[in-house]
C-alpha cells in the first residue's frame, strides 16, 4: 500500500510515519509537507535512506502539486494544518487557508481519483465542557471557540459534505491532546520541558485549573491505523487517552519528573476564550475497532522527558530557528 501523509514533518505526522514504517515495512510512505516553522525534516534522520520513505515539499493549497501527489497513492492520511491555538488567536488567516482551503483541495483530488481519505481532527471542535458534563463523543454538537478549532470544524464539515454529496471514501478521527517525541517546543508540555532544561520558569495560564485529556501520540497513530483497517466509510471515531488532568496537575507531575520544585511555576495572563475542559469518550472506537490507549501517562511522560534531554541540540535548533538551515544542509529534499 502507498500512503500519502500530509503534514508528515510535524509532531504527530513524524510519529505516525515512524510508527507505520516499523509496523508495516512493506508499505510506502510519501510525506507531503510545506515545512512551516512546525515541519522538521531532522525528525527523519534515521529513515532518510529507507527506499519506502519519500519526501515531497508541497503545499496542500497548491492544486497541481496535490493532484499529482494524490494520483499516485492508494490512501491519503491528512495531518497538515496550522495547529497552535495561541498563534490562531494572534492571526487566524493562515489557519483558514491551510486548514479549510487545503482540506478542500485535497478533497477535490481524492474525489477525482477515487482514493481513500482519512481526516485527522481534534476534540476542540466540540467546544468546552463544564466540570460535570459527560465527555465528548461522536454525537456531540460542534461548538468551536478558537479560530484554530473553528477552522478544523469547517474542515470536518467539508469532509462529511464530500461524503454525502460525492460519495468519497472517508473517515474522520477527533483526538484529544497528544504528547510525545518530536513536539515543537511551543505547546504546553514541550515548552515546559524545554524551559526546565534551561532552568527557566514555566508560564501557567490563568488559574491553571483548565482540564485536558492527554494521549500518547503512538496510541493515536495506532488508532488511525485501526480506523484504516477496520473503520466504516463515512464514520467518525473519537480517540482519547482516558487521562484528564488540570494544567496544574500536569505541571506538578512534570516538575517532579524533572526534579524541580513549585517555585518554577509562573502564573501568567490567561488565554483569551480559554476552553475550560476537554474529555473524550472513545467507546465507539473501543467497541467497533478494538482500540484503546495502551501507554501509561507516567511511562509516556518519562520517555518524552528523556528524549528531550537526549536531544537538547534538536530543542536548541527549534528554539533559535537554526533547524531550518540545519536540515537544508544535511538532508536532500527529493
Ligand atoms: P504540527 O503543527 O506539529 O505539524 C503540522 C505540520 O503540517 C507541519 O509539518 C507543517 O509544516 C505542515 N503544514 C502546515 N500547513 C501546511 C500546508 N499548507 N501544506 C502542507 N503542509 C502544511 O501539528 P501536529 O500537532 O502534529 O498536528 C497534526 C494534525 O493533528 C493537525 O491536523 C491537528 O489539527 C491534529 N491534532 C493535533 C492534536 C495535538 O494535540 N497536537 C490533537 C488532535 C488532533
Ligand atoms: O485537544 C487537542 C488540541 O490540543 C489540538 O487540536 C491542538 O492542535 C493542540 O495544540 C492542543 O491544543 P491546546 O490548546 O489544548 O494545547 P496547548 O499545549 O497550547 O495548551 C494546553 C493547555 O495548557 C491549555 O489549557 C493552555 C495551557 N497552557 C499552554 C501554554 C502554551 C499554559 O498554561 N501555558 C502555556 O505556555
Question: Strands 169-175, 53-57: parallel, antiparallel or unpaired by DSSP?
Answer: unpaired
Q: pLDDT at position 332, please? A: 44
Report the C-alpha gap between 19 and 295 in whole angstroms: 14
Extents of the domains making up the chain: 2-182+214-241+279-294+321-330
CA of residue 159 to ligand 2 center, whole Å:
25
Cβ distance 214 to 241 under 8 Å?
A: yes
Q: Residues 47-84: pLDDT tens digits?
A: 989 999 999 999 999 999 999 999 999 999 999 999 99
Across residues 150-164, what is the average pLDDT? 99
pLDDT tens-place string over residues 104-129: 999 999 999 999 999 999 999 999 99
Which of 5, 11, 59, 153 gets mutated to test ligand 1 (max ligand atoms within 8 A of its CB)?
11
249, three cell numbers: 496537575
Residue 143's Cβ-count burial label (10 Å; 0-12, 13-18, 19+) is middle
pLDDT given at position 329: 56
**Residues whose CB is less than 8 angstroms from the CB of residue 219 and which lie 6 or more positions away in sequence, other chains included:** 239, 241, 293, 294, 295
The dihedrals phi and psi of 328, each to the nearest 5 degrees, come to -65, -35
Q: Which of 9, 160, 18, 163 is nearest to 79 (CA)?
A: 9
Which residues make Cβ contacts (< 8 Å) with residue 194, sequence separation at least 6?
Answer: 185, 308, 315, 319
> Residue of the nearest CA to atom 37 in ligand 1?
122
**Whether 11 contacts 186, CB under 8 Å:** no
Confidence check: pLDDT of 333 > 50:
no
Collapsed DSSP state (helix, strand, coil) of residue 136: strand
Residue 188 CB–ligand 1 contact under 6 Å: no
Strand partners for 53: 29
Nearest CA to ligand 1 atom 29: 79
What proportion of the chain, given as a percentage, has pLDDT over 70? 97
Band (309; pLDDT cuts 50, 70, 90): very high
217-249 tens-digit pLDDT: 999 999 999 999 999 999 999 999 999 999 999
Fold assignment, 2-182+214-241+279-294+321-330: Rossmann fold (3.40.50)
Specify the pLDDT at position 48. Answer: 86
Q: How far is the CA of 5 from the centre of ligand 1 (A)?
A: 11
* pLDDT over threshold 90, residue 334: no
CB 122 within 8 A of CB 175: yes
Quick one: DSSP state of residue 131?
T
- CA 252 to the chain's CA centroid: 24
Q: Say what the pLDDT of residue 330 is.
A: 53
Instruction: Please check whether residue 38 is in contact with residue 323, taking contact to mean a CB–CB distance below 8 angstroms.
Output: no
| Per-residue model confidence as pLDDT tens digits over 3-44 | 999 999 999 999 999 999 999 999 999 999 999 999 999 999
Residues paired with 121 in a beta bridge: 174
Query: What pLDDT is stored for residue 324 in this prediction?
Result: 75
Helix (H) or strand (E) holding 55: strand 53-57
What does the DSSP 8-state code read for residue 124?
A: G
Amino acid at each position: 500500500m502507498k500512503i500519502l501523509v500530509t503534514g508528515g514533518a510535524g509532531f504527530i505526522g513524524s510519529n505516525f510515519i515512524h510508527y507505520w514504517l516499523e509496523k508495516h515495512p512493506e508499505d510506502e510512505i510519501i510525506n507531503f509537507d510545506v515545512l512551516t516553522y512546525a515541519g522538521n525534516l531532522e525528525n527523519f534522520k534515521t529513515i532518510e535512506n529507507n527506499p519506502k520513505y519519500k519526501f515531497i515539499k508541497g503545499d496542500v493549497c497548491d492544486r497541481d502539486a496535490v493532484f499529482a501527489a494524490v494520483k499516485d497513492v492508494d490512501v491519503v492520511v491528512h495531518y497538515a494544518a496550522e495547529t497552535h491555538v495561541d498563534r490562531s488567536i494572534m492571526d487566524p488567516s493562515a489557519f483558514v487557508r491551510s486548514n479549510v482551503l487545503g482540506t478542500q483541495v485535497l478533497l477535490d483530488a481524492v474525489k477525482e481519483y477515487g482514493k481513500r481519505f482519512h481526516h485527522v481532527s481534534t476534540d476542540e471542535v466540540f467546544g468546552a465542557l463544564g466540570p460535570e458534563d459527560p465527555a465528548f463523543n461522536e454525537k456531540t454538537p460542534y461548538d468551536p471557540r478558537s479560530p484554530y478549532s473553528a477552522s478544523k470544524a469547517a474542515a470536518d464539515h467539508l469532509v462529511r459534505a464530500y461524503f454525502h454529496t460525492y460519495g468519497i471514501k472517508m473517515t474522520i478521527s477527533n483526538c484529544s491532546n497528544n504528547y510525545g517525541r518530536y513536539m515543537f517546543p511551543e505547546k504546553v508540555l514541550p515548552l515546559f520541558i524545554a524551559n526546565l532544561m534551561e532552568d527557566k520558569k514555566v508560564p501557567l495560564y490563568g488559574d491553571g485549573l483548565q482540564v485536558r485529556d492527554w494521549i500518547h501520540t503512538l496510541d493515536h497513530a495506532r488508532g488511525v491505523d485501526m480506523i484504516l483497517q477496520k473503520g466504516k466509510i463515512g464514520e467518525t471515531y473519537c480517540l482519547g487517552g482516558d487521562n484528564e488532568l488540570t494544567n496544574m496537575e500536569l505541571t506538578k507531575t512534570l516538575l517532579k519528573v524533572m526534579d524541580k520544585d513549585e517555585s518554577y511555576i509562573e502564573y501568567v495572563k490567561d488565554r483569551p476564550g480559554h476552553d475550560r475542559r476537554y474529555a473524550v469518550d472513545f467507546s465507539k472506537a473501543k467497541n467497533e475497532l478494538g482500540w484503546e490507549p495502551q501507554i501509561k501517562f507516567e511511562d509516556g511522560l518519562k520517555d518524552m522527558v528523556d528524549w528531550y534531554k537526549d536531544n537538547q541540540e534538536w530543542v536548541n535548533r527549534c528554539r533559535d530557528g537554526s533547524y531550518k538551515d540545519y536540515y537544508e544542509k544535511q538532508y536532500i529534499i527529493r
